[in-house]
Structure 1
């Protein structure tokens, strides 16, 4: 009787091993076969490019993003790319969004400046306006006495809070959007400061010092 129980127990152990290896019909493991360790190669981390200021000899003091806040309005410059006005990148942007060939003031632009920005309503009331209001409050300076001229995406004129390129915005308290603003510029690029005029005194941050 004991031998019968022992045989049954051994059979159960063998059956359980077969199931663990590969199901009831699985074959026994080949213990003679060499085991190969699996190595996972980590992909190198590619840094996100937030600007190409170095291309124009501008050395940053701070890295983007850069935020300025005042009077219930917060502006963050996430990315800035400066292109030759006749470059393929600019031709594509003009075709996609309907940017005109000249700005309101600048008639012979040398550069097209493409910026990714986040604006946030930090006040307790709804605010609304357009890209022109943002440019009026937030001013770039690259050269003494010269500021870039905004240029508008005509194909998005009917859209509010567009995340493709900004025409108009309407933000409830605490609400924010990330979008794009474009400029033309024709002077030399000597330094880069951001100033926010939305209160008693401007708030400024130098990205590239004078």
Structure 2
């Protein structure tokens, strides 16, 4: 009888240990899952300037076969550490040459040629194809390109000149400077006879 009671007690103890270990394991899985949960990547900092998005990123517009996708927009005071780092890294011309520049705008984009012809921006075709604006009145920005004469075509780091053959895409970055504090934010895509606007911050409902 005592042996039977002893066996039952041992069995109960083992079951209890297994349940406890199972609980610990389950808790560890929960902790591990929580640790691997990533914070969503920041795609813009409009909130820093009191602006509210009317559309989330990424966002795409198309004009006669030229596709433009905006993935990220970061706005910095030109004298900030972030702006200075970008300015030096991509070898833009000295800030002293842009006496009216107040803000640096850093964008990540994808451009795609869905036409049957080559699309380019260089000495053979100086048209900008798209424009970034931060206000509806005198709010156009100015594109910054590297002062390095050997900066490559189709740069994936900071876009200057590019050539896209039919069905080619390019993921890259562009920098602009603005003379006024951003109040709106929109991109105008112009190709052939088509003009399309992409509004991300539109407090006055201009883009509706």
Output the TM-score relative to the length of structure 2.
Answer: 0.76
SS at structure 2 position matched to 1:54: helix
Deviation string, structure 1 residues 96-151 (Cα, Å, up to 9, x no partner):
110123498x53211011111111111112323249x7982211222212201111
**What is the Cα deviation at residue 65 of structure 1?**
1.1
For structure 1, list consecutive stretches of 5 or more residues without a partner in the other structure. 1-30
Correspondences of 1:33-182 after superposition (within 5 Å): 34-35=17-18, 36-37=21-22, 38-39=25-26, 40-41=29-30, 42=33, 43-102=36-95, 106-130=98-122, 136-143=128-135, 144-155=137-148, 157-182=150-175
The 8 Å contact of residues 61 and 69 in structure 2, kept in 1 or not, is answered as: yes
**What is the Cα deviation at residue 180 of structure 1?**
0.7
Q: Which residue of 2 aligns with 1:192?
A: 185
For structure 2, list consecutive stretches of 5 or more residues without a partner in the other structure. 1-12
SS at structure 2 position matched to 1:99: coil
**What is the Cα deviation at residue 156 of structure 1?**
7.3
Q: Which residue of 2 aligns with 1:21?
A: none
The 8 Å contact of residues 44 and 73 in structure 2, kept in 1 or not, is answered as: yes
Flag the 1:112–1:103 CA change in 2: closer, same or farther, 3 A.
farther
Distance, in Å, in 2 between the alignment partners of 1:156 and 1:193 is 30
The 8 Å contact of residues 154 and 170 in structure 2, kept in 1 or not, is answered as: yes
Distance, in Å, in 1 between the alignment partners of 2:165 and 2:71 is 21
The 8 Å contact of residues 77 and 115 in structure 1, kept in 2 or not, is answered as: yes
Flag the 1:177–1:103 CA change in 2: closer, same or farther, 3 A.
farther
Flag the 1:130–1:46 CA change in 2: closer, same or farther, 3 A.
farther
Distance, in Å, in 2 between the alignment partners of 1:76 and 1:138 is 11
Aligned residues: 178
SS at structure 2 position matched to 1:61: coil
Distance, in Å, in 2 between the alignment partners of 1:55 and 1:112 is 14
Taking only aligned residues, the RMSD between alpha carbons, in angstroms, comes to 2.5
Query: Which structure is larger by alpha-carbon Rg, 1 or 2?
Result: 1
The 8 Å contact of residues 121 and 127 in structure 2, kept in 1 or not, is answered as: no
